[in-house]
Amino acid sequence: MLEEKAVKEMDESRQGEALKLENQDNKSRKVLIESYGCQMNFSDSEIVASILEDNGYATTRNAEEADLVLINTCSIREKAEQTVRKRLDFYNSVKKQQPSMTVGVLGCMAERLKSKFLEEEKLVDLVVGPDAYRDLPGLVEEVKDGRKAVNVILSKEETYADISPVRLGGNGVTAFVSIMRGCDNMCTFCVVPFTRGRERSRDPESIVNEVKDLAEKGYKEVTLLGQNVDSFLWYGGGPKKDFKKLTEEERESSVNFAGLLGMVAQAAPNVRVRFSTSHPKDMTDEVLHVMAAHKNICKYIHLPVQSGSSRVLELMNRGYTSDWYKNRIEAIRRIIPECAISQDIIAGFCSETEEDHQATLDLMDYVKYDFGYMFMYSERPNTVAQKKFVDDVPHDVKKRRLSEIIEKQNQHSLERNKTYVGKVHEVLIEGLSKRSDQEWYGRTTQNTVVVFPKSDEKPGDYVHVKVHDCTAATLLGKRVEG
């Protein structure tokens, strides 16, 4: 998960920033929430804020006035865990001055490290897994009664479909909408199936209603979230994963991801629709045709590949070969010629050879991704890879291979961005440029960042910008009349 360098830095700063918002209600208790990791964690924090708001908590960005501090954690890579530990150390130092403060950990690190956090290291009072957020008010009261509180039980049904999220620290323009939870894919390098449980889809009607509500509140873009959105499936009686096992009547009433995407696009025609993340083994031409048919569905697909080597992909249990992945790329180019594509790539997975690495570089040359998210492999506890494979690629080799992947991606990103120069693009303004308060930044339908001089526009406006220059990360332009 990375765009080219500058975009990657912006994305990481978003993920590393606390999701905090000062609530002006005169509520008696204050909660501070920080989120790290994927977009799903940020979406979950908004659900947590809603649950706590209904129980008398206002949100705050000030640690000194917080009665409750919650860190929503990520376990996908070791660096994310190290960041969380540093934040816990900080809040424990604050707690020494405010003994009544409760400190808790939410999310993906909860199950794996609950004993360490609660008993061994005594870093937290509260540990809550991603399917137990409804229990938070009661668990906080347990802490107030002098007990350590924990609930990391995973659910096969919980989707939080009835909860209206409190939009935390956002720009008022873009919002996340969770459409499903959990994952059934069991990639050998990944902890998500163990930390987030089995896959279950959300009632499409509740999703459409949430998007309509966001549109009424002035939001201009939504991102539909799931670990694997392409496997979304809902039938009349509820979520069901295996389409082959549905009865004829259930099939007729079922909604797959293509159907959901069309429903959302039609329900809010003035709202841009994005989605993340797709899985190459499940992405269908039907989804691509729906994208092509609706102007407000953004022409951008994040399609993680992880490796260009079919041998490594099999070890990863990804469920596709390099040739299958290329077939999906060809379908995207054929059905949505203007579509931008980004990637996830892991450098140095177990037993990866120089041939395997070269296959990844070759695939990158074949696709020419607009941007990407690239990492060295880091072994995660309790995954299949950790149990069955040897992490045998030396660190310096991983580092060198990652550097080569990033260098190639930067070349391709610049090459792709140059194709946008000289053209007029519709841009949704998200806010001020980080470099200058005299410039706006926004994104095209292809998810490319555009910076242009500020005039009388405001965040949430759609404007037309003619691009006159670019870097590997950003398009530079000037507003023109549409």
More confident residue, 439 or 235: 439
**pLDDT of 85 higher than 90:** no
* Span 117-147, pLDDT tens digits: 777 668 899 999 999 999 999 999 999 888 8
* Span 18-40, pLDDT tens digits: 433 333 344 579 999 998 878 88
Tell me if 73 is assigned to some domain.
yes
Q: What does the alpha-carbon distance between residue 300 and residue 131 come to, in Å, rounded to a whole number?
A: 30
In degrees and rounded to multiples of 5, residue 357 shows phi and psi of -60, -40
Which pLDDT score, from 0 to 100, does residue 478 have? 97
Q: What range does the domain containing 446 cover?
A: 424-480
Tell me if 449 is assigned to some domain.
yes
Q: What does the alpha-carbon distance between residue 449 and residue 194 come to, in Å, rounded to a whole number?
A: 35
Region of poorest pLDDT, from 116-120, 259-263, 299-303 = 116-120
Give bridge partners of residue 12 from the DSSP assignment.
none
* pLDDT-derived band at 8, boundaries 50, 70, 90: very low
* pLDDT-derived band at 240, boundaries 50, 70, 90: low
Contact 78, 376 (CB under 8 A): no
Q: What does the alpha-carbon distance between residue 445 and residue 379 come to, in Å, rounded to a whole number?
A: 35
Tell me if 97 is assigned to some domain.
yes
* pLDDT-derived band at 331, boundaries 50, 70, 90: very high
As a whole number, mean pLDDT of residues 456-481 equals: 97
* Span 155-187, pLDDT tens digits: 888 888 888 888 886 789 999 999 999 999 999
* pLDDT-derived band at 246, boundaries 50, 70, 90: confident
Which pLDDT score, from 0 to 100, does residue 120 have? 63
What the block records as the tokens of 206 is 């509740």
* pLDDT-derived band at 449, boundaries 50, 70, 90: very high
In CATH, what number is assigned to the domain containing residue 470? 2.40.50.140
Q: What does the alpha-carbon distance between residue 422 and residue 234 come to, in Å, rounded to a whole number?
A: 44
Task: Tell me the Ramachandran region of residue 391: left when phi exceeds 0, alpha when psi lies from -120 to 50, beta otherwise.
Answer: beta
Q: What does the alpha-carbon distance between residue 68 and residue 224 come to, in Å, rounded to a whole number?
A: 29
Which pLDDT score, from 0 to 100, does residue 479 have? 97
For residues 274, 275, 278, 282, the Cα torsion angle rounded to the nearest 10 degrees is: -100
CA distances from 246 to 204, 241, 261, 264, 289 (A): 18, 9, 21, 24, 24
- Alpha-carbon Rg for the chain, nearest whole angstrom, is 22
As a whole number, mean pLDDT of residues 298-319 equals: 98
Q: Which of 103, 136, 151 is the last residue of a domain?
A: 151
Contact 436, 413 (CB under 8 A): no
What the block records as the tokens of 199 is 């896959």
As a whole number, mean pLDDT of residues 262-284 equals: 97
Q: Which of 151, 178, 206 is the last residue of a domain?
A: 151
Tell me if 448 is assigned to some domain.
yes
Mean model confidence pLDDT for the chain: 89
Which pLDDT score, from 0 to 100, does residue 3 have? 33
**pLDDT of 362 higher than 60:** yes
Report the Cα 245 to chain-centroid distance in Å.
30
Tell me if 15 is assigned to some domain.
yes
Tell me if 39 is assigned to some domain.
yes
| Residue found by looking up tokens 């808790």 in the block | 104
Report the Cα 151 to chain-centroid distance in Å.
24
Strand stretches in 313-448, DSSP E? 340-347, 371-376, 424-432, 439-443
According to DSSP H, which parts of 20-119 are helical?
39-53, 78-97, 109-115
| Number of domains comprising the chain | 2
Which pLDDT score, from 0 to 100, does residue 37 have? 77
Task: Give this prediction's pTM.
Answer: 0.86
Q: Which of 108, 126, 151 is the last residue of a domain?
A: 151
Q: Euclidean distance between the first and final Cα of the chain, in Å?
A: 33
In CATH, what number is assigned to the domain containing residue 145? 3.40.50.2300
Tell me if 229 is assigned to some domain.
no
CA contacts within 13 A on the Cβ side of 219: 21
Q: What does the alpha-carbon distance between residue 31 and residue 10 come to, in Å, rounded to a whole number?
A: 26
* pLDDT-derived band at 11, boundaries 50, 70, 90: very low
Beta strands at 102-107 and 68-73: parallel, antiparallel or unpaired:
parallel
* Span 45-72, pLDDT tens digits: 999 999 999 999 999 988 889 999 999 8
**pLDDT of 466 higher than 60:** yes
What the block records as the tokens of 363 is 């695939």
The closest alpha carbon to 242, from 297, 282, 294, belongs to 282
As a whole number, mean pLDDT of residues 221-225 equals: 96
Neighbours of 70 (CB within 10 A): 29
Neighbours of 183 (CB within 10 A): 22
Maximum average pLDDT range among 146-155, 296-305, 379-388: 296-305
* Span 107-120, pLDDT tens digits: 888 777 777 777 76
Q: What does the alpha-carbon distance between residue 77 and residue 79 come to, in Å, rounded to a whole number?
A: 5
Tell me if 60 is assigned to some domain.
yes
Strand order in the sheet with 340-347: 300-302, 340-347, 371-376
